[in-house]
Homo-oligomer: A and B are copies of this chain.
Amino acid sequence: MQHIHNYYNLYVDLAVEARDLVRGSKDQEIPGVEEKVEQMEQIKINTIIIKDPAAEKTMGRPVGTYVTIESPPLKIRDPYVRDEIIAAMKKSMSLLIGDRLQPGQTVLLVGLGNWRATPDALGPKFIEYSPITRHYHQHAPEALVEGMRPVCGIAPGVLGITGLETFEVIKGIVEKIQPSLLVVVDALAAQNVERIGTTIQMSNTGIQPGAGVGNARHALTEQVLGIPVIAIGCPTIVNAAVIANQAVHSYCVDAGITYQETRALNMVREVLSHFGGSLAVTPKEIDEIIENSAHIISMGVACSLFPDISTEQLELYAT
């Protein structure tokens, strides 16, 4: 959760929310942005492709493909919807990786975030629930099932606890073990509480520090690391500032008065000022939401990386 760790902003983590903001009330196409929606039985898959630098600027996020899987039942422990989501993730991973990963090549999983703060523990828990196999290749190959590639994983912790920039740690490890693909999972901030625990975003653009603030050299991207980077995220919080601002906006609309954005943001800042703007809004079911999301994402990723091996078999390799 790079953004909420560091900055006081209303930055938008989800591409689908950025698109809604750009389009506003006009329901028209955005130049350079291609979009596709598939409605399955219990889930909806939305694919947004940002195709050129102009669209990159409009959308406030880099050229690439963003797949969003939405499913309200994801939030509860629903065994019926699980298989559908895993299948959708498998298909999306295929689309995002293309032919860039060969059988037998090594994959490094990275779980960003802080395992000691519940809404930020999605990444560390993803590592905990993922099947890890690389050490068997080196120390006990007989324990592997035919066709298992080497997969390793790390949760590097957050800057405030380690004093280390995430990209320093990851770049160091990538140089040492030379994986062919990086899959990085992080908790996201949403604009809408309804998205908490119901949305998974996957993209082939890696992870960047907050717009306008960050340093391109500090990103987890193919440009910096030299290998493809798949980023996966789930909204787990809404910034309290977003909610307060929405309430002001709804009030103005309902009362038929003009909403003045600058004034609204100033008032919100004042109300929240005592904790440096870092107030996170989470539902009280957040512990359970994180558990469910981490489990499903780890299985979705594992099924993509080990396409010929059953979910039951893979769970035996989870650490």
Contact = CB atoms under 8 A, between A and B. Distances in A.
A116 B124 CA distance: 12
Given A159-B135, A172-B173, A251 B278 contact: no
Interface residues of A, number: 85
Interface in A260-286: 260, 263-264, 266-268, 270-272, 274-275, 278-286
A286 B240 CA distance: 15
Given A153-B163, A172-B174, A250-B267, 18 more contacts: A79-B312, A116-B287, A135-B163, A150-B163, A153-B164, A168-B176, A169-B169, A169-B172, A193-B271, A193-B279, A196-B275, A247-B268, A251-B252, A251-B263, A275-B285, A279-B281, A279-B283, A280-B283
Nearest to A268: B247
Given A151-B163, A193-B272, A267 B251 contact: yes
A201 B171 CA distance: 33
A163 B175 contact: no
Contacts of A274: 192-194
Nearest to A78: B316
Contacts of A260: 255
A219 interface: no
What is the copy number of this chain in the assembly?
4
B160 A157 contact: no
A10 interface: no
Contacts of A134: 163-164
A76 B275 CA distance: 12
A133 interface: yes
A128 to B, nearest CB: 8
A285 B277 CA distance: 12
Interface in A131-182: 132-135, 139, 150-157, 159-165, 168-169, 171-177
Nearest to A255: B263
